[in-house]
Amino acid sequence: MNTFGTLFRLTSFGESHGAAVGGVVDGCPAGIELDLDFIQSELDRRKPGQSRLTTARKEGDRVELLSGVFEGRSTGTPIGFIVRNADQHSGDYDNLRDVFRPSHADYTYYKKYGVRDHRGGGRSSARETISRVVAGAIAKLCLRQLGIEVKAWTQQVGDIACERDYTRLDLSLIESNDVRCPDAAVAQRMEQLIMQVKGEGDTIGGIIAGVITGCPVGLGEPVFGKLHAQLGAAMLSINAVKGFEYGEGFAMVDKRGSEVNDILAPLSPPEGGTQLEAYKGNEAPSGAVWGALSNHSGGIQGGISNGQPITFRVAFKPVATLLQAQESVDIHGNPVIVHPRGRHDPCVLPRAVPIVEAMAAITILDAYLLNQATQLK
């Protein structure tokens, strides 16, 4: 289960302290301009050591494309790539060789396989997400030709949150601060909280929000391939993710249907506004364009995209590695005190933003390619 996707597929490999991490992207349409600078810029958003809020591990994370590219364009054949590991301090983990760290995958990997790589978590390390970001960048380049855009941002850190309605935010400001929050004032408070937690040797979680715009009507496969289920599976496969919701999600549970139904009606400027673009193809014989007047559903109904922006939120737990002593047991069941060393993020959210975008892009492109098989056109 190291492969994700049906037609557009990523197979990833590698461990945190191995020689390299990498992957193979299969199913990428031919003729896509593979802008290496763009792919590298996406990796740079994820790489460690980019600010005082992240781990101090210094990795260049330079991607090398090994196959599937000719004269800068995809050939339709598998795209192999590799990112070599460089700044490894494997000795920092020697004291954990026979110890299970609390809330890590140490115990479960050991019981499942009978062996584990204790250096930085091995395969369970978030360094594996490098391959997702590369594949996601390739997917974004494909989606760009379709007019589909994926954006994510830090919406909440601890109890500090910015506006939930993305239409009230200036998403062009996401990359203007280290937290990747489009509200500068809230971002400053988030950063202060992260630094406080870091100083205490502790960690903190939060929420990343996302929106997919330009998505056509019809993506998603009933009954078990619902689009929101595929997005949920993509997000829940990311390290430290504990929850996923789309649309208004859990905020709907205390509402009535009359409050959250998305009413369908004819749309016309100025009432329709930018919604008109989302409903191309919904023209009635009279020439009127019809669509929903609200988007409580988050752009997905019946598991199928309805043409509106797809909105979602992803909950991340606090990082399990604390720079504090914690009680645990060793592989023999003896009680021990864990004294973690090494370089770790006090909050994963700033570096997880491009990972969330990548998994969303992979999922949407895969759904788009699958949808081409539903009709003879």
As a whole number, the mean pLDDT across the chain is 89
- pLDDT value for 97: 83
- Say whether the peptide bond before residue 223 is cis (omega within 30 degrees of 0): yes
**Fold classification of 3-261+296-371 (topology level):** Chorismate synthase, AroC fold (3.60.150)
Q: At what angle do helices 36-46 and 349-371 cross, to 10 degrees?
A: 140
Of residues 86 and 5, more confidence is placed in 5
Please count the helices (runs of H) and the strands (runs of E) in the chain: 8, 18
Q: Which residues of 289-299 are buried (b: 16+ CB within 10 A; e: fewer)?
A: bebbeebbbbb
Whole-number pLDDT of residue 278? 53
Give the CA-trace dihedral at 188, 191, 193, 196, to 10 degrees. Answer: -130
pLDDT digits (tens, 9 = 90+) for 85-98: 886 555 566 677 88
Rounded to whole angstroms, how far apart are CA atoms 364 and 377?
21
* Mean pLDDT (whole number) for 198-203: 92
Query: pLDDT class for 56, splitting at 50, 70, 90?
Result: low
Q: Is 338 helix (H, G, I), strand (E, B) or coil?
A: strand
d(CA 154, CA 180): 6
Quote the DSSP letter at residue 285: T
Closest CA to 47 of 87, 17, 80: 87
Looking at residue 55, what is its pLDDT?
61
pLDDT tens digits along 120-178: 677 888 899 999 999 999 999 999 999 999 999 999 999 999 999 999 999 999 999 99
Length of the chain: 377
Q: Which pLDDT score, from 0 to 100, does residue 274 have?
A: 47
Q: Which residues contact 355 (CB under 8 A, 6 or more apart)?
A: 46, 129, 132, 133, 136, 238
